[in-house]
Each structure stands twice: as C-alpha cells, then as structure tokens.
Amino acid sequence: MPRSEHPISREHISDNALKVLYRLHNSGFDAYLVGGCVRDLLLGLQPKDFDVATNAKPEEIKNLFNNCRLIGRRFRLAHIVFGRDVIEVATFRGHHSDDEESGTQRSKQSEHGMLLRDNVYGSIEEDAQRRDFTVNALYYSIADFAIYDYANGLADLNQGQLRLIGDPEQRYREDPVRMLRAVRFATKLGLRIEDSTRKPIKPLSGLLDNIPPARLFEEFLKLFLHRRALANFEYLHELNLFQYLFPVLKSALKNPESLEYRMVRQAFVDTDERLNQDKGVNPAYLFAAILWYPVAARADEIILESGLTEYDAYQVAAADALSRQSRSISIPKRFSLPMRDIWLLQLRLQQTQPKRAIRLLSHPKFRAAYDFLLLRARIENDPKLKQLGEFWTDFQRQSPEVTPEAAPKPTGPRKSRPRRGRNSSRRRKPAAKKD
C-alpha cells in the first residue's frame, strides 16, 4: 500500500523511532516499523510503543548504537535507550529447521510445544508468518513510506476480526500467552476473535500453567490496568482462562452470586471508572480485592484449628495466600506488602475509640483500607460494615487532616537520662589549685 493510500505520516512517529529507522536504513539495512504501532496508526490510535524490525543481526545493531543493550534468551532483541524511551529492534525471524547440525537455526521447544529459545533469523516474508495475529504483521518502510502486508492483516482490520497466523493450536502451544493476547486485542480494538482462532482456547487453557509467574504478572497489568478491565475479565472467564491466573478462585467463580465473583467483578468495574476519570489505580488494591475472601476463609480455618488471635490468623492466612498465588502470578513485594496492610487494617478499622482512630488516620495505607471497607460493605450488604464505613466517613470529616508527622505522639512518664559511668569521657575539669 503506497504512501498515497494510507494515513500514516512521519509526524505520527516518535522522533527516537525515526532516528533508529534512519540509522539502520542509512547503514544499508532494511528498517520497518512493525506490529501494534502500525496497526494502531491505521486505526487512528496513538501507539504506546514503536517497534522496529530489520535484517540486521543483534550484534550489528549494537555496533550501530552506543545506547543499545541486547536482551532476551528466548529471542534475542536490541533495546535502543533514549532516557525513559526505549525502541525495541528485532531481527527478522525465520522458520525452524529440523537440521540440528545447522549452526544458525537455534530453536528449542518444551515437551508441550512451547518455544524456549527462538534465535532463528530469516526474511521479512518469513518474519511476517512467524508473528501471532494478522493485524500485527503489518510493516511500514522508512525507505518508501509504504505499508507491506504479508498476512491479509489489512483485510482482517477492515472486517473487524482478529485471526491467528498459521495453525491456531500449534501457535498457542508455541506461546500460550497468545490466548491472553487474543482477549486483550479483541477488547482493546473492538475486534471479534475469528472462529478458528477462538475454538482451541478453552481446550488449551491449561497451558497457562507452564508460563513463568513473572510473565503472567506483566500480562495481568496489561489486561486490567488499561480501561478494559471488566470486559477482559468477562471474556477471560468465558474462555476458561481467568481461573489459571487465580486458581484459588476456580470453584467460587462458577457461581455469579458468590461473594468472590461479585467482589472481583466490582473491583474491575471500579478500576475502569477510575481510569476513565484519569485517576490512578494501584495494583496492590486490585490484588487485595481479588484475594480477600480466600484470605478471610483461610483465617477462619486457622482460628478454629489453632486458636490463634484473629490478627495473627490473618497474618498467617495472608502469607499462605500470597505463597500459593505466586505459583501462577508472581506479585512483587512493592505490591504484596501494601496488600497485607489493606487486609490487616480491616481488623484495625473496627477499633473506633477516639485516640486509636486518630492514630489510624495517619497510617500510609489508611485511605486504601477505608475504600476497601466501603467496597466490602457494598458487596456483602452487611449493616455492621455499612455502619462502620459511615463512622470512618464522618470521622474523617470531623478530624483535622492527620499525617504521619502530625500524628499524636505517645504520652507517658519521661525517661530519666542515663547516668554517666566512672570512665566517661565527659569528666569535670579539676578545680584550679590555689597559690
């Protein structure tokens, strides 16, 4: 598609991406924008990232850019760093070879068919066939400003459908995360998942168990922190995928009237509402909401089994829930620690004595815990929780703003100053002798 027939202009492309494209082109290499950025520009959307594809090998790319670092074991990539802006450059991928003696065909698969290493290079035509969805196999050339389509991606965009390139079952086995990506692209772009692309998802959903938990954490953020949280949840639940992200909820989510289902759904509704109002969302709050009822149920079991206090039981239950969840989604400490605070503050918020209440207002996670209390009251429709929420709402209005620095200091008997020892370095100077 020549420049005269498509809307993409260099004015829409970031300056740093243009620098990378032109340096590769001027050095004798092919240079294309590829994937989601081309797709989004064609749909009139502003791309979040600009990715580049080239026939230059990773080491050749590194030689061209002082600000380049090579990353990745599964597939070698070059990151060109411009401060906080990173342009990802990938060498054209090729087809796998069964010839083990070939030194250039270096790929490796797991017993489930998942690609573990994929450093196989090829032509742009081969690269297009190795990409996941047809709408992501579009290339914008810096040489002639034309768009190159090797997989009928333009036709699928016009028809409003999302279709995998190649055999869907094989492509999902190569990388099960493609099932999550199918849902995310469908909701984000308003596309329908084409029938042959959709059909294998339920039977193969269990392959998500083989994905590293850290990678699923990144996919969780992409799915639920970009204004399509509710739509993604409902689609993932329908396709039997959500239960592999949160196995502890597998049974409870079968009943739409359960507290667990209603809590998860409402948390995603609230997330979309906040994002649409350009307000921030903390993943810790979202994880806390999703796992709250399993934690509460486990705490009740611990109290019955061991006789621990409620606070201690919740601490043990929180640790247990986070340990089990880390097998599917690895939650970093910067989020797991605030999650614990939100859960344990649900107990402390029951303490409404004035002095304790004022101290609690200064807790760094008070506001999140207060919002969480109101969410619980809506879900459970419990008069006691509603009354407690009303107390804290009124108490905040009546009390001056309290910060950790302005929090009341503990009062009590003043400690006596420690006595100096006999060998103290601060001794009295001897009196001057009289003549």
Which pLDDT value is given to residue 107?
46
CATH superfamily placement of domain 249-403: cca-adding enzyme, domain 2 (1.10.3090.10)
- The Cα angle at residue 331 between residues 271 and 72, in degrees rounded to 5: 110
209 in active site: no
Task: Give the pLDDT confidence score for residue 182 in this predicted structure.
Answer: 97
Q: What is the pLDDT of residues 343-392, one digit of tens each?
A: 999 999 999 999 999 999 999 999 999 999 999 999 999 999 999 999 99
- pLDDT tens for 148-177 read 999 999 999 999 999 999 999 999 999 999
- Residue 258: CB atoms within 10 A of its CB come to 15
Q: In whole angstroms, give the CA distance from residue 131 to residue 122.
A: 13
Residue 180 clears pLDDT 70, i.e. is over it = yes
Predicted pLDDT of residue 75: 77
49 is catalytic: yes
Segment 224-240 shows an average pLDDT of: 96
pLDDT > 90 in the chain, percent: 80
Q: Cα–Cα distance between 41 and 1 in angstroms, integer? A: 14
* The residue type at 384: K
Residue with tokens 């429709």: 381
Q: Domain residue spans in the chain?
A: 1-166, 249-403
**Mean pLDDT value across residues 31-45:** 94
Whole-number pLDDT of residue 406: 41
pLDDT surpasses 80 at 102:
no
- Residue 50 to residue 19: CA distance in whole angstroms: 12
All residues at 6 or more sequence positions from 44 whose CB lies less than 8 Å from its CB, including other chains: 7
Characterise 184 by phi-psi region: left (phi > 0), alpha (psi -120 to 50), beta (else).
alpha
> 400-425: per-residue pLDDT in tens?
555 444 444 444 444 445 555 555 44
pLDDT at 73: 73
The catalytically annotated residue of 40, 118, 127, 132 is 132
| The predicted structure's pLDDT at residue 115 | 47
Q: What is the pLDDT of residues 113-126, one digit of tens each?
A: 454 445 688 999 99
| pLDDT over 50 at 106, yes or no | no
Active site residue 98: no
Contact 199, 171 (CB under 8 A): no
> Which stretch of 34-38, 79-83, 277-281, 400-404 has the lowest confidence by average pLDDT?
400-404
Say how far apart CA 136 and CA 178 lie, in whole Å.
12
- Structure confidence by residue, pLDDT tens digits, 51-94: 999 999 999 999 999 999 999 876 789 999 999 999 999 999 98
| H or E element at residue 292 | helix 283-306
Cα-trace Rg, the chain: 29
| Greater model confidence, 213 or 48 | 213
> Is the pLDDT confidence value at 427 over 70?
no
Identify the architecture of domain 1-166 in CATH.
2-Layer Sandwich (3.30)
Q: What are phi and psi of 39, to 5 degrees?
A: -55, -50
Amino acid of residue 5 = E
- Residue 109's pLDDT is 52
Decide if pLDDT at 194 tops 90. Answer: yes
pTM of this prediction exceeds 0.95: no
- What pLDDT does 104 receive? 43
pLDDT for 170: 94
Question: 């992409």: which residue's tokens?
Answer: 222
Catalytic residue among 51, 118, 156, 272: 51
Q: Taking all residues of the chain, what is their mean pLDDT, rounded to a whole number?
A: 88
Phi, psi of 425 (to 5 degrees): -75, -20
Residue 400 pLDDT: 58
Catalytic residue among 49, 300, 320, 371: 49
Cα–Cα distance, 124 to 129 (Å, whole number): 9
Check residue 118 and give its pLDDT: 53
